[in-house]
Amino acid sequence: MRAQPTASHFVDGAYLEDEAGTPIDNVFAATGEVIARVHAATPAVIEAAMASAVRAQRVWAATSPAERGRVLRRAADIIRARNEELSALETLDTAKPIQETLVADAASGADALEWFGTLAPGLHGESVPLGGDFAYTVREPLGVCVGIGAWNYPTQIACWKAAPALACGNAMVFKPSELTPLCALKVAEIFIEAGAPTGLFNVVQGMGEAGAALATHPATAKVSLTGSVPTGAKVYASAAAGMRHVTMELGGKSPLLVFDDADLEDAVGGAMLGNFYSAGQICSNCTRVFVQAGIKARFLDRLVERTRAIRLGDPTDPATHMGPLVSYAQRDKVMNYIDIGRREGARIAIGGRAPQGEAFEKGAFVEPTVFDGVTDAMTIAREEIFGPVLSLLTFETEEEAVERANATPYGLAAGVFTRDLARGHRVAAALQAGIAWINTYNLTPVEEPFGGVKASGVGRENGRAAVEFYSQLKTVHVGMGRVESPY
């Protein structure tokens, strides 16, 4: 199985190679095969990418917003037309099941490009009457934005960052995660095919070092990172030193509160989606599931029963529900958390092992795992695991549940299942999170803003809110009378 790209980087409208960069092997974690090798960007590649983005941004900023919108919408159409091919690549890049990638990755990227493409012509300032004098505001692009991606949604992350950035008249240099270098290159190709100026969306490969070099480059106006909290802290600090704008989409340890009156099957389904989709490698997952005492036993029974039916296996098989984790290192990290959970006294209700048998021998698989009897102090209830590990906690009252749910440095997402309308809204209001779902979980359509509070991030992706993070206002005050001066 090979997925070797034409070259490692995509700069100024074409593939670019510099073999002097450290080689990075792309390993398909279902089989251990090396499916591609790219090279980390050398300083020369980074300079070329930044210089070409600076040039492209000038052209793009002078392009009419209607035309910018057309380019983005054409890119969306091309992505949709090539969904199958892009999904197959996404599955190779991430080892996520094709059943998911066909509906969740390129499709969501296309939605973002279409939506921001439609919004682009309407992005402008306003006029401010001042009784004689007046002012107007101009919504200006920031300049060259750097996007740095995590490995769980490589196509979606590239598009969620590029769509608002380009709609607002910026250029972007994007560095994918070193674990998933392939998908963003396709996005770059597609922008060219859609008619974007060369250099408007460049992709350079590399590890954290390349990300840091881009984030601190003198031509960088903004950094948008999707990644872990420790990386976010570093990138945010370096951006502060250069007074650059940021968007930080970071990790979480999100709570789901299931009340006695909830629809049991929906609540179980929500908890499973929010823990097992993408083998649990989703930042907004509800890894702490708080269930009210009255429904707890029934909830656990159904959760275990439905978890048993999850088909783990070859991610390229359309029947597979759950593939391996992205890498063997991630598998080891998750297995280590499972051991810690056991040692600290949580009870495994199902899963907890690397699955046995020939089909799993070479892959980074972990069984979907449910821990029961988890307490707030346990490591598995406090730290982000980023794997298919659900922790079940029990509560008695709403007040107690909300307080415990909020007792975390994170604040990305939260959820509540209840049939009581007032309680649903009350709990959503009280939970400290950038997004809270009532009677559903992990839906992130492009129309609604997405992002975290507390340690989970700064800024918002998607929705109109994203525009505020990719543009700035210039105020022009027009004097209509004589200048009154005491001098």
222 noted as active-site residue: no
Closest to 151 in 3D by CA, of 189, 178, 188: 178
| The one among 52, 177, 307, 408 contacting ligand NAD by CB under 6 A | 177
Spatial strand order in the sheet of 127-129: 127-129, 134-141, 471-478
> Nearest 5 degrees, angle CA 422-CA 426-CA 428?
120
- Which of the stretches 83-91, 246-254, 266-274, 294-302 binds ligand NAD when contact is defined by CB under 6 A? 246-254
| The one among 207, 273, 359, 438 contacting ligand NAD by CB under 6 A | 207
Q: Is 149 in the site for ligand NAD (CB under 6 A)?
A: yes
Pick out residues in 396-455 that bind ligand NAD (CB under 6 A): 412, 452
* Smallest separation, CB 252 to ligand NAD (Å): 6
* Smallest separation, CB 160 to ligand NAD (Å): 8
* Smallest separation, CB 150 to ligand NAD (Å): 3
Residues sharing a CB contact under 8 Å with residue 408, sequence separation 6 or more, in sequence order: 253, 255, 382, 454
Q: Among residues 283, 286, 296, 367, which one is catalytic?
A: 283
Q: Among residues 90, 100, 114, 249, which one is catalytic?
A: 249
Kindly give the residue spans of alpha helices, DSSP state H, lying in 144-245: 154-167, 183-193, 208-215, 229-241
- Which of the stretches 111-119, 226-234, 268-276, 313-321 binds ligand NAD when contact is defined by CB under 6 A? 226-234
Q: Is 215 in the site for ligand NAD (CB under 6 A)?
A: yes
* Smallest separation, CB 206 to ligand NAD (Å): 7
* Smallest separation, CB 232 to ligand NAD (Å): 7
305 noted as active-site residue: no
Give the pair of three-digit tokens for residue 418. Answer: 């209840």
| The one among 86, 167, 200, 235 contacting ligand NAD by CB under 6 A | 235
As a whole number of angstroms, the distance between CA 260 and CA 44 comes to 60
Q: Which residues pair with 24 in a beta bridge?
A: 38
As to burial, measured by CB atoms within 10 angstroms (0-12 exposed, 13-18 middle, 19+ buried), residue 324 is buried
Q: Is 178 in the site for ligand NAD (CB under 6 A)?
A: yes
* Smallest separation, CB 379 to ligand NAD (Å): 16
Say which amino acid occupies 243.
M
Nearer to ligand NAD, 184 or 370 (CB): 184
* Smallest separation, CB 124 to ligand NAD (Å): 28
Closest to 214 in 3D by CA, of 148, 142, 143: 148
Q: Which residues pair with 369 in a beta bridge?
A: 389
| C-alpha distances out from residue 327 to 279, 287, 313, 365, Å | 12, 20, 15, 9
Q: Is 148 in the site for ligand NAD (CB under 6 A)?
A: yes
Kindly give the residue spans of alpha helices, DSSP state H, lying in 226-327: 229-241, 264-276, 293-308
As a whole number of angstroms, the distance between CA 165 and CA 117 comes to 11
161 noted as active-site residue: yes
Nearer to ligand NAD, 360 or 386 (CB): 386
As a whole number of angstroms, the distance between CA 148 and CA 225 comes to 5
Residues sharing a CB contact under 8 Å with residue 400, sequence separation 6 or more, in sequence order: none
Q: Is 474 within any annotated ligand binding site?
A: no
As a whole number of angstroms, the distance between CA 38 and CA 24 comes to 5
Q: Which SS3 state, helix, strand or coil, does residue 388 take?
A: coil
461 noted as active-site residue: yes
Query: What is the pattern of x (binds ligand NAD, CB under 6 A) and - over residues 355-384?
Result: -----------------------------x
- Which of the stretches 172-180, 261-269, 369-377, 393-401 binds ligand NAD when contact is defined by CB under 6 A? 172-180
| The one among 151, 201, 360, 410 contacting ligand NAD by CB under 6 A | 151
Which residues contribute to the site for ligand NAD (CB under 6 A)? 148-152, 175, 177-178, 207-208, 211-212, 215, 226-228, 231, 234-235, 249-252, 283, 384, 386, 412, 452, 457
Residues acting as catalytic residues: 161, 249, 283, 461
